[in-house]
Amino acid sequence: MEEQRATPGVYINELNAFPNSIVEVATSLPVFIGYTQKADFQGKSLQNQVVRITCLAEYNSFFGYGPNTMFNINKIAPSNSTQSIDVTLNNIPYTITPQSKGMFYMYNSMQLFFQNGGGDCFIMSIGTYEKEGVNGSNLANFQTLSGEVSGDVFSVLKNQQDPTMILIPDALLFNTSTDYYTLMNDCLNHCGDVQSRITLMDAYGGNLITDPITFAKMQTTFDANGNSLDPIGQLRGGITSKFLSYSAAYYPWVDTNIVSSDQFNFSNIIGGFTDSMVDTNDPTLVNKVANIIAQVPTASSPSLAGLTEEQKEERIAAAQLAAHNALLSISANYNLLMQAVLAKVNCLPVTPAIAGCITTVDGSQGVWKAPANIALNAVRSAVLTIDDDLQSTMNVDAVTGKSVNAIRSFNGMGILVWGARTLDGNNQDWRYISVRRTLIMIEQSVKLAASTYVFQPNDANTWFSLKSEIENFLTGIWKQGALAGAKPEEAFSVSVGLGSTMSANDILDDYMNVTILVAVTHPAEFIEIVFKQQMQTS
């Protein structure tokens, strides 16, 4: 309506020359959920809040560092043939097991994420190592949040619009696979509810089997209840959610070089290095080792009397480091023990690295590029060597239809992500991760743009404006390679209007229905090249 003027003069009206446009939503914003050293910043609690960070330094400022993981070093009885050997010292096999109350994957997973190209992400701390995690990682902490926020982790996430991936590495430390897959089912149901994110899932126990022959045997071994004992079988039996396309599973775990020897506490390792572990029975070396260990004070040592607690911790840490370096210089067996402990700490679930790769691929090529055939950084090897025959049972499963992506080693190429399927591996619509994530991006982008038309007149002008916006948006991503088709009309179609997507009753009931058809590009998973000899022609 033209404004009525009352005063003579010259007036200027600025009109928009271009229509509104749809902008792609962010696609690579994972949220990591787990335990942290602290959860506060400048006196403000961050527990049970979804906090955005951009680098590891910000994580350290808000949530601290990793735990001081302690280890038990025990001899393996000759009668125990099933116990895995972690290190052999003086022909005596030992097992090295982390004390469950001090083991958490969250911090090292963040390092692995950033090493593989990760960028902006979200952190949700459900509590600290010393309080909520005092008895180790458990399902109850995720289902019933402590602190000021009530409910479970997914009731908090439901109100968050930005996260596009969910990772819960600390859940892999639950006591049973049943607890782990209970949480994963809840996570898939949450993703299916909000329709804006996926779950990246590791196989529970993916670090336990290192021999392909043993793995093959376990695939045909079942417990008293008929449940499979191999990690892949447990995953397929444990996941019962109907929203399989909102998750991608990976196996096995990986051996990394994320943690160096100066990043964790030496007290338990030094104290556990007993006489029988020393390289020889030479009493001179045995006594020398014993003297080095004896020089490490404890909090109650007389030499620390009168010092503050902080000063005691600093003095003990310095003595531990000096003893550690001295033992490294004189004892080959101590070096072996340290390497075995580092291997335990550096064996990590692979999904944080996958999240970093997805971030890199989305930024360089687009969400429609499958996050596969990518070399992992800071990874030395996969826990289990997988060949073509073994992966064939992971990639395609005729019974459950649940696909698991493999992490494989290739000569001269490194450790590669060799799979691009969602858990819904037999579904022609949602088989591939790139298809699922591309549709999420399109759906959420159009949804946000269409929200500006809420309460607008449900007439032809509004229909035309919205249709034009959506078509312009889809044309743009078609040009980038997200949609298949030689021409835009072959790649997508948008319909809205009376007699097309709506009846007269729909308009009277205040519904504006829009139908969008898209042809999303699929990855070339199987490439066959045919060779045939032909007759000589000249």
Q: For 221-271, what is each residue's pLDDT tens digit?
A: 777 666 777 899 999 999 999 999 999 999 999 999 998 877 766 777 887
Each residue's pLDDT tens digit, 178-232: 999 999 999 999 999 999 999 999 999 999 888 888 888 887 777 766 677 789 9
- Taking only the tens place, the pLDDT of each residue in 521-534 is 999 988 899 999 98
CA 62 – CA 36 distance, rounded (Å)? 9
What pLDDT, on the 0 to 100 scale, is given for residue 183? 98
- Reduced to 3 states, what is the DSSP secondary structure of residue 53? strand
Domain 30-67+103-253+349-434 class in CATH = alpha beta
DSSP string computed for 380-433: EEESS---HHHHHHHH--TTT-B--EEEEEETTTEEEEE--B-SBTT-TTT-BH
Predicted pLDDT of residue 85:
85
Cβ partners under 8 Å of residue 213, min gap 6: none
303 pLDDT above the threshold of 70:
yes
Q: Calculate mean pLDDT across residues 13-42.
A: 89
Q: CA-to-CA distance for 54 and 50, rounded, in angstroms? A: 13
Number of Cβ within 10 Å of residue 357's Cβ equals 23
Mean pLDDT of the chain: 91
Residue intervals of the chain classified under CATH 3.40.50.11780 are 30-67+103-253+349-434
pLDDT band at residue 81, thresholds of 50, 70 and 90?
Answer: low
Q: Are strands 30-36 and 121-128 parallel, antiparallel or unpaired?
A: parallel
